[in-house]
Structure 1
Amino acid sequence: MELRHLRYFIALAEELNFTQAAERSHIEQPPLSRAIKELEEELGVLLFERNRRGTKLTAAGTAFLQDTRRLFSILEQARENVRAVAAGMRGSLRIAVSDGALDPRLSAFLAQCRAEEPELEVRLSEVPLADQLRGLRSGDFMLGFAHTANVGEGIIAEPIWEDPLVIAIPARHELLAHKEVPLHELGGHPLVLCDPRVCEGYCHELARLLGPLDHRQNVVEHVTSLDMMLTLVGAGYGVGFIAATKIPASQRPDVVIRPLAVESAIITTYLLRPDRDDVPVSLERFIIRLREGLGG
């Protein structure tokens, strides 16, 4: 089994079109077809179903695609590690962040890691939750941070930080009569919420908190950044929600921050990692340091 066969297989599995897969692989269609046939013969299974309606993966092909992607992720990780070692480092860790789970504690922790273990390269990627989970399963990412534990099988979600959820209110608004805003008082008020396509896990948690409002929710805008949310809140479009750790970045004269009068108004940051026994030593040290320094 040659790597080129596997590359051709991935191209066809993703394109589901022999012509497009051949163009993507920079070869003619007949060699691609031969390579796929050779691969199927070597494996002893059909990877694709071909008929007049087109090409689609078999169940075996779908399973093989996941494993093949994982293989190439491991090869890419090996390439990164050997380059890091050649550059005087001990290796690299690839970490994904979703749901806006970036905060000053993570910055401080990464600075600590750089100071204590400068030979270890830590690479952060900010991606949607679905991409993070897919990457953790395939090996593209070794760790992740998100605001949900609803991550499915094969991934461990460990709570790391808990923060009060506070409400951002326009500087002139009737809700400012409350030092702590009761949840039921939000019913009917316009809400400016994060776009669930960008902050899927965070939105799930917020929806759980706002569940009692149910049909009285009045969402007027979905935004993709804290700055946009604060801009719309300051302009009077509605009220929004942020984690208390982001209050320093939210201070502006046209927005007032108030706590919610709800004990369950908590947003949790979870450390996500694949449920595997073969944990690299560098990753194990990183997790232990995180638990000791920040997780308690």
Structure 2
Amino acid sequence: MELRHLRCFTVLAEELHFTRAAERLHIEQSPLSRTIKELEEDLGVLLFDRDRRGTKLTQAGSVFLQDVRRVFTTLEQARENVRAIAAGYHGSLRIAVSDGAAGPKLSAFLARCREDLPEVEVRISETPLSEQCHGLRNGSLHLGFAYADEVGVDIIAEPIWQEPLVLAIPSRHPLLAFKSVPLEELARYPLLMCDTNECESFNRALQRILRKIDVEPIVAETVISRDMMFTLVAAGYGIGFTTATKLAVCGHLDVISRPLDTDAAFITTYLLRSESSSTPTYLDEFVARLHALTETEDDTSAPGTSAL
């Protein structure tokens, strides 16, 4: 069994079509068929069912695909680590952020780490929550930042930052008569909601708050970005949900902020990491610095002091 066998198998498993898979691999269909046959003979099992209706993975093929993807993840990690070391680093950390959980606090922390831990390369990616959890479990990611703590087994979720949830309201809107908007008032006006796939963890946190309303909210539009949400709010399409830091940089003068009149109106950012012990040694130092910074912010947020 060679890597070329595994690459061909992975592409065919994704395409489930020999012609398309051969095109992706830049080879003819007959060499692809021969390579898959060699792999199946080596393993002693059928990986694909082939008939006139098409090609599909067998149960053994589905299990094998998961293992093969872990192999390629490990190889990619090895490649990144070698490149990082060649560039003068001691290693690299891969961090994912979902649902816009990035913000000034994360920026300040990453800047601090670049100064205090210059020997560690930090790679950041924006990743939906489901993919983030998958990456943490298979080892392709080391840490994640999200607005959800219900992330299943094998992942530790630690609360690190908390921000008030605020309403983004069009100017000249009736809700502006309230200094703090009661939850039940939201049932009377159309709302702008983020797409579940793009903002999964933010929506989970938001639904916990909206469940306190007895009637089903009116959803005017579903958006996939905060920029579009702010644009539609400014145009009068409905009420949006965001945080004060996000609203401060939205750039729309026709969007006005109002807090919600409930103690539960806040969004918590969670640090996600795998329970696996097979993590880089410098990951613990990275997490310890994050906790130390969080504790410092809590202390400096007391009356008479200023936070970071």
Normalised by the length of structure 2, the TM-score is 0.89
1:137: how far off? 2.9
Q: Aligned pair in 2 of structure 1 residues 80, 29: CA closer, same or farther (>3 Å)?
A: same
Match of 1:69 in 2: 69
Match of 2:292 in 1: 292
Structure 2 CA distance for partners of 1:155 and 1:44, relative to 1, 3 Å: farther
1:117 corresponds to which residue?
Answer: 117
Q: Deviations over 1:237-271 (max 9, x none)?
A: 21111123334324653222111111111211111
Secondary structure (helix, strand or coil) at the match of 1:49 reads strand
How far apart, in 2, do the equivalents of 1:216 and 1:246 lie?
26
Residue of structure 2 in register with 1:56 after alignment: 56
Q: Structure 1: 5+ residue runs without aligned partners?
A: none
Secondary structure, in 3 states, of the residue corresponding to 1:99?
A: coil
> What is the CA–CA distance in structure 1 between the aligned matches of 2:291 and 2:40, rounded to whole Å?
46
Contact 2:234 2:255 in 1 (8 A): yes
Whether the 8 Å contact between 1:193 and 1:221 is mirrored in structure 2 is yes
Asked if 2 retains the 8 angstrom alpha-carbon contact of 1:188 and 1:216, the reply is no
| 129-138 vs 60-69, greater mean Cα deviation | 129-138
- Check the 8 A contact 2:168/2:247 in 1, yes or no: no
Could you tell me how far 1:198 is from its partner in structure 2?
1.4
Does residue 179 of the first structure (1) align with residue 179 of the second (2)? Answer: yes
Tell me whether 1:167 sits opposite 2:167 in the alignment: yes
**Cα distance, 1:55 vs. partner?**
1.5
Give the aligned partner of residue 18 of structure 1: 18
Corresponding position: 1:128 with 2:128: yes
Compute the displacement of 1:214 (Å).
Answer: 5.7
Residue 72 of structure 1, CA deviation: 0.8
Counterpart of 1:212 in 2: which secondary structure? coil
Q: Shift of the alpha carbon at 1:223?
A: 2.2
Q: Which amino acid aligns with 2:186?
A: L
CA distance in 2, matches of 1:249, 1:43: 57
Distance 1:271 1:142 in 2: 11
Q: For each residue in 1:4-52, what CA deviation from the matched residue of structure 2 results, as whole angstroms up to 9, or x when unmatched? A: 1110110111011122222222222232222222222322332222222
- Correspondences of 1:246-265 after superposition (within 5 Å): 246-250=246-250, 252-265=252-265
8 Å Cα contact 1:165/1:244 also seen in 2: yes
SS at match of 1:88: coil
Q: Tell me by how many angstroms 1:204 deviates.
A: 2.0
**Structure 2 gap segments, 5+ residues each:** 299-308
CA distance in 2, matches of 1:264, 1:79: 45
Q: Distance in 2 between matches of 1:232 and 1:26?
A: 45
RMSD: 1.9
Distance change >3 Å, CA 170–CA 201, structure 1 → 2: same
In 2, the alpha carbon distance for the partners of 1:153 and 1:193 equals 28
Once the two structures are overlaid, the 10-residue window that deviates more, 276-285 or 107-116, is: 276-285
Distance in 1 between residues matched to 2:110 and 2:30, nearest whole Å: 50
> Structure 2 matches for 1:69-218, cutoff 5 A?
69-213=69-213, 215-218=215-218
Question: How many residues matched?
Answer: 296
Matched letter for residue 176 of structure 1: L
What is the distance in 2 between the residues matched to 1:35 and 1:252?
57
* Segment drifting more, 214-223 vs 80-89: 214-223
Q: Report the identity percentage.
A: 61
CA contact (8 A) 1:66 1:138 kept: no
Q: Distance in 2 between matches of 1:39 and 1:285?
A: 43
Indicate how the Cα distance of structure 1 residues 215 and 50 shifts in structure 2: closer, same or farther if over 3 A, else same.
Answer: farther
- Structure 1 residues 247, 19: CA separation in 2 closer, same or farther (over 3 Å shift)? closer
Report the TM-score, using the length of structure 1 for normalisation.
0.93
Using the TM superposition, give the Cα deviation of residue 186 of structure 1 relative to its aligned residue in structure 2, in angstroms. Answer: 0.9
- Compared with structure 1, are the counterparts of its residues 20 and 214 closer, same or farther at alpha carbon in structure 2 (3 Å cutoff)? farther
